């Protein structure tokens, strides 16, 4: 299973050249992750208030293939590639009318939030939901130093 979302490119996303300014893609990707967690039944605000946890990005690799402009619709797809004890790797692909726009591989890690940040094991309920999006159907430990 994959998580899918449509993002309308707005004026706020674009630079003076009329194309998406690349840092705005980071915001779009972060919104995608937040929407995925909400769709799985674990909104960020509840994870924070109930579990004292967050999922910061610890590694990010993006390839940009083509520009995207204001008024266009960016079709985003999220797949879960690997699930470790506390971290997980996802792939988000973006396309516009079948043309690839970007591909991002992101590693995130469950941590405590606040002044003292420590790794946490992914809670069983969240892990079970993530496995539904694990396209490889594998789990692996991702080493984090």
Note the pLDDT tens digit of each residue in 1-43: 999 999 999 999 999 999 999 999 999 999 999 999 999 999 9
% of the chain surpassing 90 pLDDT: 86
The pLDDT mean for the chain works out to 92
**pLDDT of the residue at 142:** 40
Give the mean pLDDT of 95-108: 97
**pLDDT of the residue at 141:** 40
C-alpha angle 107/129/43, rounded to 5°?
Answer: 75
**pLDDT of the residue at 137:** 52
* Extents of the domains making up the chain: 3-131
CATH of 3-131, one of 3.10.129.10, 3.40.50.1970, 1.20.1090.10, 3.40.50.1820: 3.10.129.10
The predicted-structure confidence for 120-145, as pLDDT tens digits, reads as follows: 999 999 999 999 998 765 444 443 33
The predicted-structure confidence for 32-61, as pLDDT tens digits, reads as follows: 999 999 999 999 999 999 999 999 999 999
Q: How much of the chain is in helix, strand and coil states, percent to nearest 5? A: 25, 40, 35
**pLDDT of the residue at 135:** 78
């Amino acid at each position: 299973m994959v998580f899918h979302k449509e993002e309308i490119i707005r004026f706020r996303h674009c630079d003076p050249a009329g194309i998406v300014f690349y840092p705005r893609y980071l915001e779009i990707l972060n919104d995608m992750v937040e929407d995925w967690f909400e769709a799985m039944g674990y909104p960020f605000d509840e994870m924070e208030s109930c579990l004292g946890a967050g999922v910061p990005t610890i590694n990010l690799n993006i390839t940009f293939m083509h520009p995207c402009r204001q008024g266009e619709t960016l079709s985003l797809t999220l797949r879960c590639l690997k699930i470790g004890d506390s971290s997980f790797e996802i792939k988000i692909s973006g396309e516009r009318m079948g043309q690839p726009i970007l591909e991002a591989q992101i590693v995130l890690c469950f941590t405590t939030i606040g002044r003292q940040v420590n790794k946490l094991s992914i809670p069983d309920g969240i892990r079970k939901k993530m496995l539904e999006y694990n396209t490889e159907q594998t789990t692996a430990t991702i080493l984090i130093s």
